[in-house]
Structure 1
Amino acid sequence: MKFIKSLCAASLTALSVAQAGCVMSGGNYYCSETDAVVFSNVGYSGSYKDVTSMDESSGVCLQDTVSFSGSLAPLDEELSVHFRGPLRLLQFGVYYPSGGSSLGKRDNQVQEEPCEETVQSHKHKREVAVEYVQVTSTVYVNNKGQPVTSSVAQQEAPGNPATDVVSSYTFVNTIVTPSTSATPSTGTSATTVLTGGRAGSSSPEPASSSSIVSLSSSTKSSASASSTSGSSTSGAWVRSSYFQPGSASNCVFMNHQGGSAGSGVWSAAFGNSICYASSDGVSGASSAQALGDVTIKSGQEYMIFSGSQCSGNDCGYYRKNIPAYHGFGGENKIFVFEFSMPYDTAGSGYNQDMPAIWFLNAKIPRTLQYGKSECSCWKTGCGEFDLFEILSPGSDKLITHVHDGQGSDGTSTGGGGTQDYFQRPTSGTMKAAVIFNGSDKTIHIVKVDDDFDAQLSSDVVNSWLQKSGSTAALA
């Protein structure tokens, strides 16, 4: 989402979406509706180019190499949370494990401050009975992203294009059988592995036979939701940040109107910086304000940082004279959302009727989210995670995708995703949780019905982790 749709994409070695029962719509492939997506094998060791200075007069930015390593790296670094309209946000929260959680020590010790205002929680429960039948297959791919046979893969011939740098991926193909009370789209979900990049869309495009891997296996097994996930927690999760319209605790709303209303800066070289957002989400403000109960229009954006202000060098380099705040860091954390994305057909501008919610490495907006590529770490793969993204105007299918250097040459064109989709909540609201689990290198995105209380019990979190759905294995 760093450069909206034009650069938030990658080419991939994937299941044949045609054989998986997927359909093309608006230039993108979609497979089955899902209530959960699990990213596995997240995190690797690598590096990116971090900004070390920005000259407002010349427009020159200098960078230096930063190395990282970890079970969810670089997405375990501090993240900012971004929203694009048409969108209405009803709840947002961040949780960290208490001392008793099996996921490890709490990554952020900031405690939530008492809210001065509360609003009635929203409940939108629906019962869906789904049977999951999984088909697995191991696929071998060479360094050109071309499928090879297992016998060829076992040959060791350095320098031979047919066998050089062979990777092995296990695909899980989930066939969804809804009950009569549920009406998700039929078809077969696709697990995808990305190995390179293209500009355009984060959905796979038809490719030549040399870059498409078809899933074919006679190995079938019925799997319950509880048996498809190895993730679990013990102990409560404590809420550190929370928002409801008109009330924000330990979280700060910002947008890109710097220099216009008493916070942030503007220059001819870099344009507007980030600044405090007013309660309407789209105007600038001189101090932090809680977002109101507003629906922002197409193309309008705001973002959320934690309530902890940067001090000294603890946030790294950031643009001078901006309100600089920490993001949400750590490899064990939970984000929760309640939102709606109504249709917006009134205009026809850029990103018309294409709402989205996504994470960025918090260094990106603190330097330059939109502009020269050398003035942020985005292009070199410091991390973006699209949670719920509409890829074409008026679509009702929300796609999720990771963009970082994993599985590529160390740029933002790596990562992975799935062509299964969440149904866009155009009327009513959708509740969702995003669970970062460093212990098994997974990130879960799940639709939920539970209330977002000050603490989440291990039973509640485990029920979210055990939801089965689409899978996306990063290389």
Structure 2
Amino acid sequence: MKFISQACAAALLSLAPLVAASCDYVGGNYYCSETDAVIYQNVGYSGSYQDVTSMDESSCSCSQESVSFEGSMSPLNEELSVHFRGPLELLQFGVYYPSSGNSLKKREDCDVATRHHDHKRDVAVAIVHVTSTMYVDGNGDPVASTNPSATAIYTTSSTLAPASTTTSATADDEASTSVSSSAAASSEGSSSSASVSSGSSASTSSSSASTSSTSSSGTGSGWNRVSYYTPGSANNLTFMNHQGGTAGSGTWSSCFGNSISYCAADGVSGAGSPQALDQVTVPSNKEYMIFSGVKCSDTSSGSCGYYRDDIPAYHGFGGDTKMFVFEFSMPHDDSSSYNGDMPAIWMLNAKIPRTLQYGNSDCSCWGTGCGELDLFEILSSGSEKLITHLHDGQGDNGNSQGGGGTQDYFERPTSGTLKAAVIFDGSDQTLHVVKVDGDFSSTLSASTVNKWLKESASVANLS
């Protein structure tokens, strides 16, 4: 589904020796260093995408109109749905927002608890700086877009991969690490990525990272949990899948196939009403998704825009600043089917599944860049390396396969579970995907969230 332009491919080839020196090429994808966190910087831009306005069953066609957006985190500040593909067992999921009436604080002003830890932990972090499209001349040197010899190449990210370092971060003792510059591409998998990191020296890349904003996602009185799931219990969220027309919800047509539907407790079947997922391991190539518990008919929460007729339509999770937490396992299975043993967790602009997630590209906004964020994705069958990548038009000349990513990876939790937080910080345009520990209680203090950020950011000298 993701493509690499010829110009991008040429750039990747020119950097191949750098990749080969520090990364492994497996199953069509590069994998570099294991990481505990990925921080996306400079997220959000001004652009537009084609939004669906109608779906015509008689002609099997869809109409679209242009929708413009701008600002911090855009278009990922729009409502998002959260998607899961097996083999996967979900143990916890939650959504948090900052407590109302509190402004975001600078990391250096945070509670002292965020600066002093009495434990040690191996931490590695990858930094992805999402940039605008770069133009080069015939020699590969940067030029203005108006230059007659200019060619657009999608050098969309600069990736820093500090070595895993045992740290005990305090105000007086920040961790220091070595930093390596890498370049990589992936051309396989349902959500594979094409990214080029800086070909300059590590010191140049490090300088770019160190000049970023240092504001923190923690607020003065913390974060409130608005939606939460544990097996058998779902509070203010709705499980769905793609079984429309089979079990009392959603619809089916020869034009557009099965719509979304309520998901049964087994995670695989459809249902006629909302159900909480049981403690189940969903098998390979089976998917479900999570929306909020608020129906689109509740206009007090804003408009969902156009969505397919006769579906259970719910709002997603919007906002510049928000946090998602997960606890999950991804055990191996022996499936040889399409997407066999390739689990994934990702986010989509919630408009996409409410129209057509798979099928005619004119029937969703996905192809024109309304937003996808791959959080934890296996790119080849049986792999134990989870990749993250942002897909929208930023940095890729309007191509939805752009954005940025890293070939550093999280270790797949095949036994036991992985806990993680995904933190959108609209105040400084950063997006953090971070392994965490501790409980996901109904409220989280600013010091707790800032500790999660601090443990990773300090390794890259961002604190």
Please state which band the TM-score falls in when normalised by the shorter chain.
Answer: 0.7 to 0.9
**Separation in structure 2 between the aligned mates of residue 451 and residue 269 of structure 1, nearest angstrom:** 46
Residue matched to 1:143: 135
Does structure 2 retain, via aligned residues, the 8 Å contact 1:8–1:199?
no
Q: 1:266 to 1:18 in 2, by over 3 A?
A: same
Shift of 1:214: 2.4
Does structure 2 retain, via aligned residues, the 8 Å contact 1:190–1:418?
no
Note the alpha carbon deviations across 1:256-304, whole angstroms, 9 max, x for none.
0000000000001101000000100110000000000000000000000
| Other structure's SS at 1:83 match | strand
Does structure 1 retain, via aligned residues, the 8 Å contact 2:330–2:415?
yes
Q: 1:212 to 1:75 in 2, by over 3 A?
A: closer
Residue matched to 2:42: 41
Answer yes or no: is 1:398 the counterpart of 2:391. no
Structure 1 letter corresponding to 2:421: A
Does structure 2 retain, via aligned residues, the 8 Å contact 1:97–1:237?
yes
Shift of 1:102: 2.3
**Separation in structure 2 between the aligned mates of residue 415 and residue 333 of structure 1, nearest angstrom:** 20
**Separation in structure 1 between the aligned mates of residue 271 and residue 20 of structure 2, nearest angstrom:** 52
Does structure 1 retain, via aligned residues, the 8 Å contact 2:43–2:431?
yes
Alignment of structure 1 residues 257-336 onto 2, 5 Å: 257-311=243-297, 314-336=303-325
Q: 1:148 to 1:141 in 2, by over 3 A?
A: farther
Alignment of structure 1 residues 62-73 onto 2, 5 Å: 62-73=63-74
Q: List runs of 5+ in structure 2 lacking aligned partners.
A: 106-118, 168-176
Residue matched to 1:3: none
Q: Report the structure, 1 or 2, having the larger helix content.
A: 2
Residue matched to 1:459: 447
**Separation in structure 2 between the aligned mates of residue 148 and residue 98 of structure 1, nearest angstrom:** 48
Does structure 1 retain, via aligned residues, the 8 Å contact 2:79–2:319?
yes
Alignment of structure 1 residues 205-244 onto 2, 5 Å: 213-216=198-201, 229-234=214-219, 235-244=221-230
Structure 1 letter corresponding to 2:261: C
In structure 2, which of residues 373, 377, 388 is the aligned counterpart of residue 385 of structure 1? 373
In structure 2, which of residues 325, 333, 342 is the aligned counterpart of residue 344 of structure 1? 333
Alignment of structure 1 residues 35-114 onto 2, 5 Å: 35-103=36-104
Please say which of residues 352-361 and 459-468 is displaced more in the overlay. 459-468
Does structure 2 retain, via aligned residues, the 8 Å contact 1:276–1:323?
yes
Does structure 1 retain, via aligned residues, the 8 Å contact 2:93–2:228?
yes
Structure 1 letter corresponding to 2:37: A
| Superposition TM-score, scaled by structure 1 size | 0.79
Does structure 2 retain, via aligned residues, the 8 Å contact 1:433–1:448?
yes
| Other structure's SS at 2:67 match | strand
In structure 1, which of residues 171, 175, 195 is the aligned counterpart of residue 162 of structure 2? 175
Note the alpha carbon deviations across 1:145-198, whole angstroms, 9 max, x for none.
98855xx75xx7942325x88999894633314459xxxxx996656699xx97
Does structure 2 retain, via aligned residues, the 8 Å contact 1:49–1:65?
yes
Does structure 2 retain, via aligned residues, the 8 Å contact 1:130–1:177?
yes
Q: List runs of 5+ in structure 1 lacking aligned partners.
A: 1-5, 105-125, 181-185, 206-210
Q: Alpha carbon RMSD of aligned pairs, Å?
A: 3.7
**Separation in structure 2 between the aligned mates of residue 100 and residue 444 of structure 1, nearest angstrom:** 23
In structure 2, which of residues 400, 412, 417 is the aligned counterpart of residue 429 of structure 1? 417
Residue matched to 1:108: none
**Separation in structure 1 between the aligned mates of residue 420 and residue 393 of structure 2, nearest angstrom:** 26
Does structure 2 retain, via aligned residues, the 8 Å contact 1:246–1:290?
yes
| Superposition TM-score, scaled by structure 2 size | 0.81
Shift of 1:26: 1.3
Does structure 2 retain, via aligned residues, the 8 Å contact 1:228–1:466?
no
Report the number of matched residues. Answer: 423
Does structure 2 retain, via aligned residues, the 8 Å contact 1:93–1:336?
yes
Residue matched to 2:192: 202
Structure 2 letter corresponding to 1:215: S
**Separation in structure 1 between the aligned mates of residue 125 and residue 352 of structure 2, nearest angstrom:** 39
Shift of 1:34: 0.4
